[in-house]
Structure formats: structure tokens, C-alpha cells
Structure 1
């Protein structure tokens, strides 16, 4: 038995630090049923400062890329004996905005040895809340979670383990420190400008968040924890041994920083060298949070994005996948014809399952994605029947889809765009890399066009491989095709369309 079988690992490619967390899954049986908990067994942190390497024109420079790759190689060495389904790696704000992110990610995945998902801001917020809610003190009522990262800050209000409001703002301790405190210089004017800039960004959510309300405020991850440690160790809170972050504690830390005039001259207990360059930016954002949301105190938790990723991975591995919940919500929201979606889904999955599974493919993941594409292929009809597949793809590509990475959404959108119409729009696309999935979906769409519950005959498919031209073969019963002339006509059109993009499409009637 694999010694790591009960372990899960999360890798967080943050804008300030890269982190690895390994957790052990423990299951307990109670009178109410079974429950699963994750306990940390190992962790690694590398202060990569990726956002500091982002040039003014949004390109990652070579030194920051090298620091990141070196860190990921060390993480990959630690994870060498883990299976793919045990590890999930996510990247956040800096790799959302960097123009050469894809180039870096190819090298990063090779260094780590596992795929890396770039997640959207609200998906990051959802995972942060999932982690924080499993680690924070119990709360009756709503909980506010604030996570100040290197390039973005997430605000979430939730109840129990369920987020209700989620927002991600483009302010972070690295970017704010670079903008307002170059070379670590700190004065009253710069601090005031940094606080006002943070408050201006936060104002967009204040009214809705105050209206919803919360009974507990929690700061998660690196910046909140670093501020709390400095405030506690240096006695900046009003009461001795008071834990967490208080308004008075932040103001006293602010005065100490301004008095030092430069972060390099700041002498405080608990001040870690890698936190010094980003301290003034993180502090000014937290002061803006306290002012705009009228906070006096905030508790701090270590549970954040990494722990949330672990619990989300645990759910995926135990059939509680948030992505399936999202698909069900979209089906309901856009008034999908469920019966037709299910016909197309069943047919597409049966077709894809006939192809051999290459060594590099995760068949279960592709089957799931293909099924979700079938579920959603008609959501664009809620906008217009004309060109509805384009609307379907647009929605999938741009909507907030909890549980889905940006890569997931891009692949899903490409399947939706390509399930009908011309293939030329996809032939040069770098986002699509499995033509078998698209072939299966298009053929299922053709076979189910009558929108009726009919039994399909035994249809076999095969991939045609060649040195120059690849393609597909479809084998259908001659008697059945004679009774369905529309299918015969549609398949002939399909063959022409595939030939236009340089792929063979062979139709054989048995």
C-alpha cells in the first residue's frame, strides 16, 4: 500500500510566496454520520516574490521566474511519491495578469511534476473561505474573512462552510509596497496615500457587505498572521496578552514604521527578513480594511487558500465536487432542456469511452468535462437561437464558475463553441488539445438532433492515425442509416467540415 495514500497536497503559487501544504485525511464516525478532517503533517514556504518581478508592461522577469522554478523543483522533490489525484496546484493574481504566464507555467509544471491551475479571483475567494472556515474559531452567524495576498485581496462573507458574498480586489502587499514605498522608504504622506488608495478600492463592496453583516471578522494567511505576530510580540494591543489584530495595534505599528523612516531600520520583535519589503503595503491595506468596514478587532487563522484547496480536493475525490454543483446551477439558471442535454451527454460519453486511453490522459477528468459540456451546450439559447453556441461559449468562458480553474473554463468554452458550426474557428486554437472529445460531442449532437428518446444502434468509432493526416472513422448499420436520411446528410456535412481543417472523417455503413 502507498504510504502516502491518506495524504493530500496543495501547492499555492502566490504573488509573494509559494507554499506547499500536506495534510492527512482522517475519517471519524459519529451518531450523525461520518466526517472527514484534514490535519497538516508538513509544510514548505518559499518567499519567491513573484509580483515583484512583474515589469510595468506586465511581463515576469527572469530572476522572479528562476526563483519560482527553483522553489517548485524543491516542492516536486517532496511530492515525488504522490499520485496525481493527491496533488492540486493553484496559481493566483500575478499569473492571472502576467502576459507571459503561459510560458512560465509550462516550465513550472515540468519543475513541479503536476498540473497547475490558474484560478480566477472569486474562485480564490471561495477556496480561501473554505480553508478559513475549517480553521477559524466557531462562529454563530456570519463570518467575514479578509485575505491580503501579494497581488490581490479577497473579501468573503459566509455562514458555516458556505460563502455568501465573494470579491477579489487588485490590491496586495507586494504591489502596494512597490507603488507607495519604493526602496522601503516610509513617511506620513506615503502611508496616508497608500491607505486612501486601499480605501478607494474597498469602497466598491462596503455597502453590500455592511448590509449583509457579520458576527466575526477573520484575517487569513501571510499578511494577517505577520501583522498579528508583530502587534502581539511588541505589546501594541491595549491589553497584555491580547491576541489577534486590533485597531490600536495597527496604529501603533504604523507609528513605529513611520518613525523608522525605512523598513531596513525597523527594529521589532518577530520581524522576519522576508516580510520586511512588503510590510508597509500590507499594513496600509489592513488599515484601509479596518477603516472602511469599521472594524475594531480581527481574529487570525492559518487556514486559507492551501487548506481550502485540500478540502476541495477531498470533496472531488469523494464525489462532492463543487464543479458538479456549479453545472447543476447553470442548467437551472439558463433553462436548459435537461432531457436533451442528458441524451447528448450519454451518447458523447459512450463514444469517447471507445477510444484507447493514452498514458498522459486522465480519462475520468475528460469524461467529466465532456459530460459537463453536453449539459451546458444549449445555455446560449437563453440569449438567442442564432449562433447560440457562441453565446454558450462566451458564458462558460467569462462567468464565475465555482470549482473551475481558468484552464477548465477555457476547455469547456472551446467544446461549447465547437460542438456545432464550422471547425475552422478552432483549428488554430492553442486552448483546445483533445480533438477526440470534440469529435464525440459533435457526433452525439448529430445523433440526438431529433430531440426524442429513441434507442441508438451500435455505433463504433475509431481514431485514424497516420504520418501526415489523422482523423476519425464512424461505423453505422446500413439498415438504420437508410431509415434516418437526416443523420446520413448531417454526417456527410460533418465529413466535409473535418476535411476542411485537415482531418479525415471516414463513414462506413456495415
Structure 2
């Protein structure tokens, strides 16, 4: 097959069109500060109060992630150093469908995403969210009409989406799932296979938050890779050739990162791997032969890499109908899961860890932790000044 060029070649720098990333939150949903000091239910803070400098346990925080394939919302309240989820929403919207070829978000895709965002806006209002952050990723970064869509979302739903850079997307994914890394002293790679891009991050464990040593984002996710290379369907030989082409395309995009981390990977000393995405959670479900998806069984699971490769090869060899008949895949994922398998195998090629950790958490959890940490820091600053 002919060589395929990535739609966006400048990936390491995280360059993208649109607004500068870094807004703290969508303040539409921030509860106004009370002006009446005698407001019921609001007691004044006192020196020595153990709850000063920390988010109030009853305040709700929200994280919304509009990706290339999914729209996801998480609403939670602080609980010690962690948080308790009080509401969640996820819907496949296929915002990036056809984007790889047209360079634009289609009217149908935008309408689907807006339908999901209206549901999210209603949940944010009903849950009386104190602070929220809403982000958009690869599809809106890449689309020539991405900014127009962001404005339409603001106008019709009140949600202000922040188009984050690939670098911040990688950072948030690490922040959201690094706690699930296997214990060990060796280096680790955390990856996030999305709908329109894949982020790989080399980290140095230690401390409450690992230090990022290197990272790369490539414009291949389950949607963009499928749209560009083609669906894995037809006769067995055709499916095999198309899967091989997917792996080649992704491996070429990983080449620069692979070269940089090769000396670390070659040590073979306790190297660890953790993945967050629908791909790894789906493959883990198939590995466990679950009759239906169960987050409790999957989140934090450690699977031998050879087993994940075996599942990937098995799915790639199946027809779309056979894949759709598997309980944890179904027709919605049958078309895209093979691209995820190709990306996963390319990652295992460059980072040959013996085991793969599976995380059903990522960007949204990273956003929530960032919001709560920023509130803690702000409250501590107010206490110091007072």
C-alpha cells in the first residue's frame, strides 16, 4: 500500500490550532460566593480548623472530556486525598468521523456531540457543581472548523470547552491513572489510545506525582487510523494485510520516541507499562471472558503482555460480525477495536514489558485531581494571608 502521512506532523511540541490551553474551569457552573456572612449552613472558618486549605467535602467538581470518539463526564466530591463519584455520563459520539479525509467536523458528527453535551449541561446544573473544567482533544485540535464548533457549544449549551494541547492531554492522563502502576523501581510508560491520537509518556516513578521524562503524541487513534487505512473486513487475507498496514503506519509514527527510549527499554530491568483507554479495557474484558463489562474487574488489572497480544491477534483475524458477537465489544466497537489492537501491539514492540496494567480512568480523573489541588492551594494561600 502507499505510504500514509500523518494529518499533523508536529506532534512532539503539542502545537495545535485554537485557544491556548490552560483555563482552570468553566465558570458558568461555579457557585457564587455568599455575600451574607450569616448565610445558613455556612460557618466562618477559624484558625486551627482542620478543613481549612482543603476542598469542602460537600462541594461537587466536574470534568468533561470531549474526545474524537466519546463524550465523557465525571462529577465527584472530595473524600480525603481522593474523591467519590456522584454522577457520570458517557456516550459514543464519533465526533472525528471522516475528519482524517475531509479535515472538517461533519454536521452529523457535531449534532451527535451536541446532543451528548446538552445531557452533560443538564447534569452540571442539577448537581450544583462548584467548579468544572471541560476539555476537547484531537478532533477539535485538528479540524479547520473546530473553533466554530467550540463557539456553537458555548452558545447552545453554556459549556466552555478548552482545546487542550497534546502535551497537556498526556499530562492529565498520567495524573489520572498513575496510581495503578505496579510497584517497582524501574521506569514506566503510560499510554492513552484515544479516538484521534495516542499519547505515550515515559515517567520516573516516585513521589505523589511521577516526573515526566519524555513524551510523544501521534495522530493515530482508533477512529483516525481506521478512517485512513480502512476497515479490517473482507476475506481473511485482506484483513491480515490491512492489520499489518495499520501496525506499520503506527510504528513509523512511534519511531522517534522509540529511538529515544531504546536505551531504557534495553535494560529490561523491571520496566512497567500502564494503558488507559477503551482499547485496553475492552481487550482486558475479552481476556477475562466477561459476559458484560465490569469496571471493578478491569480497573487495576495486570495482564501478561503475551495474553494481550494473543487477544489482539484473535480480534484482528475475526470478521466484523464475529467481533460484534463478543459480549464486551458489540457492533459499536467491532469496527474500531482492531485499530486499537494495532496501536497496542506497536507500543509493546517498543516497550517490551512483561505485563500490562489496565486503567479505566484517565483524563477526567486527572482534571478532577487538578481542580481539587488548585482549590486546596488557593485555600491554603488565603489562610496564610489571613
Report the TM-score, using the length of structure 2 for normalisation: 0.72
Please state how far the C-alpha of 1:131 moved relative to its aligned partner.
Answer: 0.4
Retained in 2: the 8 A contact 1:6–1:24? yes
**Given the superposition, is the C-alpha separation of residues 134 and 110 from structure 1 closer, same or farther in structure 2, using an over 3 Å criterion?**
farther
Counterpart residue number, 1:177: 226
1:32-76 C-alpha deviation (Å, 9 max, x unpaired) = xxxx22232322111011111426231111110000000000011
Partner of 1:89: 134
| 2:229–2:246 CA contact under 8 A, matched in 1 | yes
- Corresponding residue number in structure 2 for 1:133: 178
2:337 to 279, 295, 300: 279
Which residue of structure 2 lines up, in the alignment, with residue 196 of structure 1? Answer: 248
Q: Deviations over 1:295-326 (max 9, x none)?
A: 332110122111001111112222279xxxxx
Residues 236-280 of structure 1: CA deviation (Å, up to 9, x unaligned): xxxxx99544443344334433443x3133233422332222111
**TM-score (norm: length of structure 1):** 0.55
Q: Which moved more, 1:96-105 or 1:51-60?
A: 51-60
**Residues 20 and 44, structure 1, Cα contact 8 Å, conserved in 2:** yes
Q: CA deviation at 1:293?
A: 1.9
Q: Secondary structure at the match of 2:134?
A: strand
**Is the partner of 1:50 in helix, strand or coil?**
coil
From 70, 86, 89, the equivalent of 1:17 is 70
Unpaired segments ≥5 residues, structure 2: 1-40, 43-55, 292-297, 380-386
Number of corresponding residues: 307
Per the alignment, in what secondary structure is the counterpart of residue 319 of structure 1?
Answer: helix
- The CA distance in 1 between the partners of 2:146 and 2:89, in whole Å, is 23
What does the per-residue CA deviation read over 1:4-45, in whole Å, with 9 as the maximum and x for residues that have no partner?
942211000011111001122123xxxxxxxx2223232211
Q: In 1, Cα distance between the equivalents of 2:321 and 2:262?
A: 38
Superposition CA RMSD, Å: 2.8
The answer on whether the counterparts of 1:134 and 1:303 sit within 8 Å (CA) in structure 2 is no
The one of 212, 215, 229 equivalent to 1:166 is 215
Check whether the contact 2:67–2:95 (CA below 8 A) recurs between aligned residues: yes
Q: What's the counterpart of residue 225 of structure 1?
A: 281
For residues 437-464 of structure 1, what are the alpha-carbon distances to aligned partners after superposition, in whole Å with 9 as ceiling and x for unaligned? xxxxxxxxxxxxxxxxxxxxxxxxxxxx
Q: Say if 1:51 and 1:246 are closer, same or farther in 2 by CA, change over 3 A.
A: farther
Alignment of 1:12-411 (within 5 A): 12-27=65-80, 36-54=81-99, 56-81=101-126, 86-158=131-203, 159-160=205-206, 161-164=209-212, 165-182=214-231, 184-185=233-234, 187-212=239-264, 215-233=271-289, 243-260=301-318, 262-266=319-323, 267-319=325-377
After TM superposition, give the deviation of residue 113 of structure 1 in Å. Answer: 2.5
> Does the aligned pair in 1 maintain the 2:197–2:221 contact within 8 Å?
yes
Distance 2:309 2:180 in 1: 27
Structure 1 residue 178, shift from structure 2 partner: 2.0
Identify if the C-alpha distance between structure 1 residues 202 and 6 changes in structure 2 by more than 3 Å, giving closer, same or farther.
same
What do the CA deviations read for 1:317-370 (whole angstroms, capped 9, x no partner)?
22279xxxxxxxxxxxxxxxxxxxxxxxxxxxxxxxxxxxxxxxxxxxxxxxxx
- How much does 1:81 deviate? 4.0
- Is residue 147–residue 224 contact of structure 1 (8 Å, CA) maintained in 2? no
Aligned equivalents of 1:57 and 1:202: distance in 2? 24
* Counterparts of 2:129 and 2:77, CA distance in 1: 16
Match of 2:374, SS? helix
Q: CA deviation at 1:223?
A: 1.6
3-state SS of 1:187 partner: helix
The 8 Å contact of residues 92 and 118 in structure 1, kept in 2 or not, is answered as yes
Go from structure 1 to structure 2 and tell me whether the alpha carbon gap of 1:253 and 1:137 turns closer, same or farther (over 3 Å shift).
Answer: closer
State the secondary structure of the residue aligned to 1:79. Answer: helix
Query: Does the Cα contact within 8 Å between 1:55 and 1:61 map onto a contact in 2?
Result: no
2-side partners of 1:320 and 1:157: how far apart? 30
Query: Alpha-carbon deviation of 1:179?
Result: 2.3
Quote the offset at 1:229 in angstroms: 1.1
Q: How far is 1:110 from its partner? A: 3.4
2:77 alignment partner, SS class: strand
Larger-gyration structure (1/2): 1
Contact 2:232–2:338 (Cα < 8 Å) also in 1: no
